[in-house]
Copies of this chain bind each other. A is one copy, B any other.
Amino acid sequence: MTTGPDRDSANVSEDNAAPPKAVRTVALVATGEELVRGAIVDSNSAWLARRIRALGLELSEVRVVGDQQRDIERAVRELAERVDLLIVGGGLGPTEDDRTRHALAVAAGVALASDPEAQAQLAKWFELRGRTPSPSNARQALLPIGARALPNSRGSAPGIALGMGRAACFALPGVPSELRAMFDEQVVPWLRTRLDRAPFCERLLQVVGLPESVVGERVARWMESPDPPGVSDTVRFGVVTLCVSDRDDVAGRARIEACVAELRGALGQHLFAEGDTTLAAHVVARLLARSATVAVAESCTGGLIAAALTDVPGSSQVFHEGCISYADAAKVRALGLSPALLAAEGAVSEAVARAMASAVRTKTGSTFGVASTGVAGPTGGSAAIPVGVVHLALAGPDGVRHDRRHFPGDRDSVRQFAVIGALDLLRRAIDAS
């Protein structure tokens, strides 16, 4: 193996005698025209972010640039001065627009040269597959002088490791399966000896039935505190997920435990689950535990409540049947509602929602029946029943419950909120009965 000053400075070589420098901060550069044109979503960075956090490291920044060499070069040069570890994804392919190796060489102030180790990896990869490398594949053996070639167990392009500024820099291929394998096989073992703090651990609290602003007020004391544990929230169609995180050591775990205990008190019955789960999965688990079943009669949600329930593996034990009674005639034919009731109350009404929930419960012999009827928009609203109004009903052994809700946003948003509202109504009925 060759050595060079840049490489030693950041300990990317395995055979360096000095004790390795601790790695604490990380940045990512994702490169590719398809990213800046929006043709694909940057899923590599989300995957790397999760891995990096689980290792106890702090991801300070992700930069997404196109395939212009000068843009990659500038991002690499700037970030190499700020963080301990820099991961570059993409731009290692065989074509003319793959410029990561050139950008790294310019940023490190060295030339490119064909690397014997990279040549051997490439030759082996093509030989194993009985394929002949094209002339352009020879480009993939070009490395900045002083860099180390990283084996690619899933594809042809070798990765690149080199020191740059204060950072160790690893360039990985952009193909997701190759990037992930190379990170786990090449970067993680290198990192293991360079972690000087306990990794992070986190606890998730799932909250429903409260607006984000109200959740925020109830947990403000913890969110605003600069001291650990950290508390942050994300919201998606009526479910607020709180993340309590701290170091995975004795003190950190104790702080998390104390914080979670207080949050439980502040959130009461709106805290429906702890951990990485969904409201649908929680409801299915609760039904399973009680050997209960649920059927749905959906109008405005058009199958989404059933889809959410059946998305949960094992849901066939608790969900047997559903009816999408979208038209008034379907509410009469399939559920047996009275045309007079529909005429008198209108399809979007408390009475019709209650009748739908009761009918589907009785007809299917389920423990619970859930129903939705509303105006998802964009048309169909009126002064009395504007777009976003949804009547939800739940029939169970203890009678029928009803919620009138007014959800914000477009058609998709109203429907997604209605699913969460319906599942929450079901959850409360299970807990109460």
Contacts and interface: CB of A to CB of B under 8 A. Distances in A.
Interface of A: 32-43, 45-53, 59-67, 71, 75, 93-97, 129-130, 133-137, 154-155, 175, 177, 211-214, 216-217, 220, 223-224, 232-235, 243, 296, 298, 301-307, 309-311, 313, 315-316, 319-327, 329-330, 333-334, 364, 377-379, 406, 408-413, 415
A154 B408 contact: yes
A302 B313 contact: no
A236 B47 CA distance: 18
A310 B320 contact: no
Given A95-B216, A324-B321, A334-B323, A37 B49 contact: yes
Given A46-B40, A64-B62, A95-B212, A333 B321 contact: yes
A232 B97 contact: yes
Top 8 nearest A-B pairs (CB, nearest first) are A302-B310, A38-B49, A303-B303, A303-B306, A38-B50, A322-B324, A95-B216, A321-B330
A296 B302 CA distance: 11
Given A38-B53, A39-B243, A134-B213, 6 more contacts: A33-B232, A63-B64, A95-B220, A303-B310, A320-B327, A323-B323
25 contacts: A33-B243, A35-B49, A38-B53, A39-B50, A39-B243, A41-B41, A60-B65, A61-B75, A63-B63, A94-B213, A95-B223, A96-B224, A154-B410, A177-B409, A177-B412, A177-B413, A302-B311, A311-B411, A311-B415, A315-B326, A316-B326, A316-B327, A320-B327, A321-B333, A322-B326
Nearest to A319: B326
Given A43-B41, A243-B37, A330-B320, A304 B302 contact: no
A137 B129 CA distance: 61
A36 B65 contact: no
Contacts of A319: 302, 326
Contacts of A326: 306, 310, 315-316, 319-322
B40 A41 contact: no
Contact of A324 (B35, B46, B214, B324): B324
Contacts of A137: 213
Given A67-B232, A327-B321, A217 B379 contact: no
A43 B40 CA distance: 9
Contact of A36 (B41, B60, B313): B60
Given A67-B232, A410-B154, A309 B302 contact: yes
Contacts of A410: 154, 177
Nearest to A219: B95
B60 A66 contact: yes
